[in-house]
Amino acid sequence: MFKKFAVCLSSILLLISAAAQPIFAHTVSPVNPNAQATTKAVMNWLAHLPNRSENRVMSGAFGGYSHDTFSMTEENRIKNATGQSPAIYGCDYARGWLETSNIADTIDYSCNSSLISYWKSGGLPQVSLHLANPAFQSGNFKTQISNSQYRNILNSSTAEGKRLDDMLSRIADGLSQLKNQGITVLFRPLHEMNGEWFWWGLTGYNQKDSERISLYKQLYTKIYHYMTDTRGLDNLLWVYAPDANRDFKTDFYPGSSYVDIVGLDAYFSDAYAISGYDELVSLNKPFAFTEVGPSVTNGSLDYASFINAIRQKYPKTTYFLTWDEQWSPAANKGASSLYNNSWTLNKGEMWNGDSLTPITE
């Protein structure tokens, strides 16, 4: 039954996408040429959002780590504060600091049931990964490693490489469940690589390491080819997300053949002073604020200024995804202004569970 639903849905979405093309002559396709029809339609729809006059920036929120903190609490908090639910809802499959005897056990995708329900009710899932460090048996996601250790992780014949492969296999199992339901996923691996806090990134504050950057690109493309070619995951939109508060935002870019959406993870006090928008937009991919929140968690950030800054300074933004708990709009100011702005698209306004809203809306 699910397969029949997915085929029917794909046909509907393709017809809608094709009908809108006379207005916007070019079609924007995912980097995976074999992407599902649904995923192709979502990509094209998202890429054309900046052409709208209103309803052009999808809202998003993080729901937690699948292993132990994921829930629909954040959606409910935002709905209570604003009357709206996020268009995008995020889950993290990787609890990278979890100490276990088997590193693959740091991967959990039990949030899938909620993501499936969210998709069917008019939302779009996002999956991110705070990967455990394969240089160790488990955990240590913030433990810095040398470039030689990095090379071992890339080599599937080493103990480190086998640990990485075990995690990737478990992640792909989770993503396959969503694929089998015909669900498109915003997939954000290896984020904030230009920072010095994750094992896959730099080892010093704003200290450029050309070898490290090359190793990162090899890791990213390894993950891409495994998910795409080996596991046949044709439902993913690939998101590249450096940190706004560090340099070298585009140095790690693996290439236009591997990225669908570029964005910034930005924690800020002044929404008008976020660094990197022009740099990321220059890559000629749809742009998003892939993770956002206040730099100081005292409830003082006014999220109304964030959507106003998007309108005035970052107009090519296609979506934003706010973090949960004390970083949430519900724990700060201006949540209603953010979610009820005329530029903001919320759950059910992207699509109704059966068909996308017209590109030209």
pLDDT tens digit string along 197-228? Answer: 999 999 999 999 999 999 999 999 999 999 99
pLDDT in tens, the chain (361 residues): 434 444 444 444 443 444 343 345 599 999 999 999 999 999 999 999 999 999 999 999 999 999 889 999 999 999 999 999 999 999 999 999 999 999 999 999 999 999 999 999 999 999 999 999 999 998 999 999 999 999 999 999 999 999 999 999 999 999 999 999 999 999 999 999 999 999 999 999 999 999 999 999 999 999 999 999 999 999 999 999 999 999 999 999 999 999 999 999 999 999 999 999 999 999 999 999 999 999 999 999 999 999 999 999 999 999 999 999 999 999 999 999 999 999 999 999 998 777 898 877 5
Known catalytic membership, residue 291: yes
- What confidence score (pLDDT) does residue 1 get? 43
Does some domain include residue 360?
no
Element housing 321 (H / E): strand 317-322
Range of 67's domain?
2-345
The residue from 54, 74, 192, 361 that is catalytic is: 192
Does some domain include residue 356?
no
- What confidence score (pLDDT) does residue 25 get? 57
Alpha-carbon distance of 39 to 228, in angstroms, equals 13
Backbone torsions φ then ψ of 253, nearest 5 degrees: -55, 120
What CATH number is attached to the domain comprising 173? 3.20.20.80
Does some domain include residue 265?
yes
Element housing 187 (H / E): strand 185-188
Using H for helix, E for strand and C for coil, what is the string for 201-212? CCCCCCCCCHHH
> Residue 304: how many CA atoms within 13 Å on its side-chain side?
7
Does some domain include residue 120?
yes
The residue from 99, 279, 291, 325 that is catalytic is: 291
Does some domain include residue 358?
no
- What confidence score (pLDDT) does residue 67 get? 87
List, as one string, the DSSP characters of 206-271. Answer: T---HHHHHHHHHHHHHHHHIIIIIS---SEEEEE--BTTSS-TTTT---TTS-SEEEEEEEES-G
- What confidence score (pLDDT) does residue 351 get? 84
Does some domain include residue 352?
no
In total, how many domains does the chain have?
A: 1
Alpha-carbon distance of 182 to 116, in angstroms, equals 10
Does some domain include residue 225?
yes
β-bridge mates for residue 60, sequence order: 88
With 0.85 as the threshold, say if the pTM is over it: yes
Over the stretch 226-241, which tens digit does the pLDDT of each residue have? 999 999 999 999 999 9
- What confidence score (pLDDT) does residue 361 get? 57
- What confidence score (pLDDT) does residue 359 get? 78
Does some domain include residue 26?
yes
- Mean of per-residue pLDDT scores for the chain: 93
